[in-house]
């Protein structure tokens, strides 16, 4: 029993910390009906719907089939490297950074080991992780903090994308030569059998649901209507997909909503944090993300600042840096340490070096634009 509890605490460390923060904050602000005002139901519903639809696509094997189609004619290691890095960069814009890494990192490990190129595992997995975190910044549904801040700020889609476009463009320009840095050599590999991409009817239905989810994010269709439709269709056609939804992420949001709401209602703490933020919420968001990760940082700081452009840039750039700055980064690390040739220390060193360089580059761009 103790082992199971300890395993759960390690796997859901962020949720546990969020829950503790929420409980401790209740000592100063006792539970009341006002708590309901803290919780952003719209964000929770939108996030749930997106995760459910994407889980359905994963179940149908759509992403694996698309990857096979892209790689079937690859003949050089450099071309393979570029494709493996660009896949999570662009996929994360619609599928979220977490899903992009869950999909492509295991495939990369399998592929490189099958062609005897395991020496490039660390380098490519780190680049994929950076690519997913940076590609996801371009769209509101690219990562959880964007979804939250986009809904809270009531920004227009064009306004949001123009804000982060310079950073996303520079990220792509830097990732391409980094991915092409692997030496050119001929390779031959046999892709695992992947003849089917699931039921066409089921994929079409999921595609329609995904469009509805995007319309809800853009405030064209009411989020409660979309949530009801998604839940009803999943119950009728794919109940097991609902078990794949990351409910711990939703619970983490709820806990940080409560914690942030309580902290903002304690005058001394509110004044202190507001004074600490001052006119530089971006810098504070980058720094705080290094410790508690960018999703909790976004929820927490939104309770003290209405500078949403600064929060969006800060929490997206803040996903670079330490291994915990973005929870998606831990997904890649977990996959890597399970490989027979895993060298965790070397991985963390390479990860930190590449992330710090990328963060410095984007901060320089931010200072230049400001």
pLDDT recorded at residue 274: 74
Tokens standing for 7?
């395993």
Rounded Cα distance between 13 and 53, Å, is 26
68, with CB counted inside 10 A (0-12, 13-18, 19+), is middle
pLDDT in tens, 269-286: 777 777 777 778 999 999
Number of Cβ within a 10 Å radius of residue 172: 16
Q: Over range 174-193, report the average pLDDT.
A: 79
pLDDT recorded at residue 193: 59
Q: Over range 139-147, report the average pLDDT.
A: 90
Please state which of the ranges 27-41, 160-174, 216-230 shows the lowest mean pLDDT.
27-41
In the block, tokens 């997909």 appear at 241
pLDDT recorded at residue 88: 94
Asked if residues 227 and 42 have their Cβ atoms less than 8 Å apart, the reply is no
Q: Over range 39-50, report the average pLDDT.
A: 85
Stated pTM of the model: 0.82
Q: Residue 195: is its pLDDT beyond 60?
A: no
Q: Where are the beta strands (DSSP E) in the chain?
A: none
**Of residues 274 and 21, more confidently modeled:** 21
Rounded Cα distance between 352 and 152, Å, is 32
Highest mean pLDDT among 7-21, 257-271, 300-314, 330-344: 300-314
pLDDT in tens, 289-320: 887 788 888 888 888 888 999 999 999 999 99
Looking at the chain, the whole-number percentage of residues with pLDDT higher than 90 is 33
Mean pLDDT over all residues of the chain?
A: 86
Tell me the helices (H) and strands (E) count for the chain, helix number first: 20, 0
Q: Which residues contact 115 (CB under 8 A, 6 or more apart)?
A: 187, 188, 189
pLDDT recorded at residue 11: 66
Number of Cβ within a 10 Å radius of residue 320: 28
Rounded Cα distance between 331 and 326, Å, is 10
β-pair partners for 76: 186
Q: Over range 319-327, report the average pLDDT.
A: 88
Q: Residue 173: is its pLDDT beyond 90?
A: yes
Q: Which residues of 238-253 are buried (b: 16+ CB within 10 A; e: fewer)?
A: beebbeebbeebbebb
């Amino acid at each position: 029993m103790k082992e199971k509890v300890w395993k759960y605490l390690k796997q859901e460390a962020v949720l546990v910390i969020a829950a503790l923060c929420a409980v401790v904050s209740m000592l100063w602000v006792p539970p009341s009906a006002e708590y309901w005002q803290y919780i952003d139901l719209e964000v929770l519903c939108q996030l749930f719907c997106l995760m459910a639809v994407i889980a359905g696509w994963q179940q149908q094997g759509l992403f694996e089939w698309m990857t096979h189609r892209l790689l079937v004619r690859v003949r050089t290691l450099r071309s393979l490297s570029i494709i493996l890095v660009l896949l999570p960069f662009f996929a994360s814009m619609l599928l979220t950074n977490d899903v992009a890494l869950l999909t492509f990192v295991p495939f990369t490990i399998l592929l490189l080991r099958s062609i005897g190129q395991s020496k490039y595992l660390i380098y490519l997995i780190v680049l994929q992780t950076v690519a997913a975190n940076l590609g996801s910044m371009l769209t509101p549904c690219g990562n959880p903090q964007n979804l939250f801040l986009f809904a809270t700020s009531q920004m227009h889609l064009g306004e949001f994308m123009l804000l982060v476009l310079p950073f996303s463009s520079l990220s792509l320009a830097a990732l391409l030569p980094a991915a092409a840095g692997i030496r050119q050599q001929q390779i031959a590999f046999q892709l695992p059998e992947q003849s089917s991409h699931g039921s066409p009817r089921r994929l079409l239905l999921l595609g329609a649901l995904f469009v509805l989810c995007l319309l809800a994010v853009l405030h064209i269709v009411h989020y409660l209507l979309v949530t009801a439709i998604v839940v009803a269709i999943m119950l009728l056609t794919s109940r097991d997909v609902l078990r794949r939804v990351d409910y711990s992420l939703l619970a983490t949001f709820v806990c940080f909503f409560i914690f942030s709401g309580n902290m903002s209602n304690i005058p001394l703490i509110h004044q202190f944090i507001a004074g600490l933020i001052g006119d530089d919420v971006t810098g504070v968001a980058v720094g705080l993300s290094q410790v508690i990760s960018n999703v909790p940082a976004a929820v927490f700081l939104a309770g003290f600042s209405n500078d949403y452009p600064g929060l969006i840039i800060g929490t997206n750039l803040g996903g670079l840096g330490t291994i915990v700055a973005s929870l998606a980064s831990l997904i890649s690390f977990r996959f890597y340490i399970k490989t027979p040739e895993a060298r965790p220390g070397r991985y963390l060193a390479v990860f930190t070096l590449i992330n710090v360089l990328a963060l410095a580059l984007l901060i320089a761009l931010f200072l230049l634009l400001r």
